[in-house]
Amino acid sequence: MYAYAAPLSVPPTGAFMDLCRLYDVLLTEEAPTLPETARTDLRAFARLFDLALEEACEAEVWAAVRQRLADDLAPALQVAAEWGYEDQKQAA
């Protein structure tokens, strides 16, 4: 389906890409075989992010964890004059 499907604003990092290589198969195959440790780690990621996905299948868990990781890796919003925000020094 896709090799890297994070938003374009997210630069692919080594660890993120490694996780995508391991878990993206969940999004493309109907019944992938993952090692038991990978399944356990996936559930641990969901708990670390406080995602309530105990009853979800692995594909749903990975989709939510993947999105959360991509969001965390996204660059911070750049606030500039063209957006109409005041410079902090001028506002004070």
Percent with pLDDT over 70 in the chain: 65
**pLDDT: which is higher, 20 or 84:** 20
What is the total count of domains within the chain? 1
7 within a domain of the structure (yes/no): no
**pLDDT: which is higher, 13 or 46:** 46
24 within a domain of the structure (yes/no): yes
Q: Which residues of 22-50 are buried (b: 16+ CB within 10 A; e: fewer)?
A: ebbbbbeeeeeebeeebeeebbebbeeee
1 within a domain of the structure (yes/no): no
43 within a domain of the structure (yes/no): yes
Mean pLDDT of 32-56: 88
5 within a domain of the structure (yes/no): no
At 32 the pLDDT is 80
Question: Is the four-CA dihedral 38, 14, 1, 66 of positive or negative sign?
Answer: positive
4 within a domain of the structure (yes/no): no
Taking all residues of the chain, what is their mean pLDDT, rounded to a whole number? Answer: 75
**pTM exceeds 0.85, yes or no:** no
8 within a domain of the structure (yes/no): no
Q: Is the pLDDT confidence value at 41 over 50? A: yes
Please enumerate in sequence order all residues whose Cβ is within 8 A of that of 81, keeping only pairs 6 or more positions apart, or say none: 87
Supply the range of the domain harboring residue 21.
14-91
